[in-house]
Amino acid sequence: MSNPEPLIRWFENLSPETLDELPRFYAADAEFKDPFNEVRGVESIKHIFRHMFSQVAEPRFAVGSRFHGDDGVMLLWDFHFRTRAPLPPQAMTARGATHLRFNAEGKVVLHRDYWDAAEELYAKLPLVGLLMRGLQRMGRA
């Protein structure tokens, strides 16, 4: 992709209403992988994003650094969101990276997210975080 900025703007403004634009940026058989999912195809990828909107409130990606290669881009991002019930509402941020590879038409064929679910999510949740910190202390002893 010669200019990934339109795709990056789409990520940063992602909403349930913009999900139908996914085929504009992704090849029909694109692969998506993150710590919880591994799917192929635009509809499956849309489903993952829809699920995100049902699980957290006010999700928003803020892309920081961008690294361009011959056939891909690496994006460093902050994911801002608020927890939903049954958890007390709480603003949270998870940090991660996305590797995107493109086909000859400039569409995403591989979307691979890298982030540490234990550190960036579980450790920040009230009860789970307490347990995780206790386990980390035991591992250092």
Beta bridge partners of 103: none
Distance CA 82, CA 58 (A): 6
Domains along the chain with CATH numbers = 5-115 (3.10.450.50)
pLDDT at 57 over 50: yes
Mean pLDDT of 44-64: 95
Tell me what the pLDDT averaged over the chain comes to. Answer: 86
Distance CA 133, CA 141 (A): 13
**Of the candidates 48, 47, 30, the residue with the CA atom closest to the CA atom of residue 101:** 30
pLDDT interval class at 131 (50, 70, 90): very low
Beta bridge partners of 35: none
Distance CA 23, CA 108 (A): 9
